[in-house]
Amino acid sequence: MIIKSATIRESASGKYYISILVEYEEKIRPVTPAEKVLGLDYSSKALYVDSESNRPDYLGFYRQTEEKLNKAQRKLSGRKKGGENRRKQRLKVARLHEKVANQRKDFLHKLSRQIANACDAVVIEDLNMRGMAQGLHLAKATNDNGFGMFKTFLAYKLAEQGKSLVVIDKWYPSSKMCHVCGEKNKELTLSDRKWQCKKCRAVLDRDVNAAINIRNEGCRILGIEERTIGRMGIAW
């Protein structure tokens, strides 16, 4: 292992961190064929819904601290610029933001590690998270759940084990297509959380159906025979 560089930075809360870049060689054997494939459908509230009907118990760390943050921010606004009291209050606000960020990062690291260890491949949609975060109704929830960070963590945790993160086109009709027979429901709206297929009469949960379709499209891309992959017994 060779240490290439070290970077020291000071956070807004006054803490110092050092980042060390190292170089090392490691032979990673790809996991083929991928037998345990999981599809994830993005959810602004739950972070995601997976193809096994699981929803992570995401706590919404910003929302939990929002009232305290707003109160601290109002106090900061009332402090005289350049004064010692303003400096102290600024540190209190920065530490609250830092706590929320650390809670979110810890949760996403643990969750992505659990999924990477349990699955051979994970399939998600290519979503524009920045664009979604600018929406009037989804901005706060999108910024709070950190799905983009979760995707980054999941990608490298899978890669270091020779596993795959498959990203499918965002225009793939995962929500509108019945995973049982393939019929498309062109009349489906965002408010329809459950719907019945007109062709095979299957009653579908919108998010679970989308996650299964995402998984099946990922299997097609990976060249895996389309089939219902057995439950992995994962609970997160």
Catalytic residue status for 41:
yes
Q: Are 16 and 10 in contact (CB under 8 A)?
A: yes
CA-to-CA separations, 162 to 32, 132, 194, in angstroms, rounded: 9, 31, 37
The alpha-helical segments, DSSP class H, found in the chain are 61-78, 84-118, 129-133, 139-145, 147-159, 206-222
Q: Of 50, 52, 144, 207, which one is the catalytic site residue?
A: 207
Q: Which residues contact 112 (CB under 8 A, 6 or more apart)?
A: 150, 153, 154, 157
Q: Of 41, 50, 120, 144, which one is the catalytic site residue?
A: 41
Q: Of 52, 125, 144, 217, which one is the catalytic site residue?
A: 125
The two structure tokens encoding residue 77: 């606004």
CA proximity to 13, closest of 69, 106, 103, 93? 93
Catalytic residue positions? 41, 125, 207
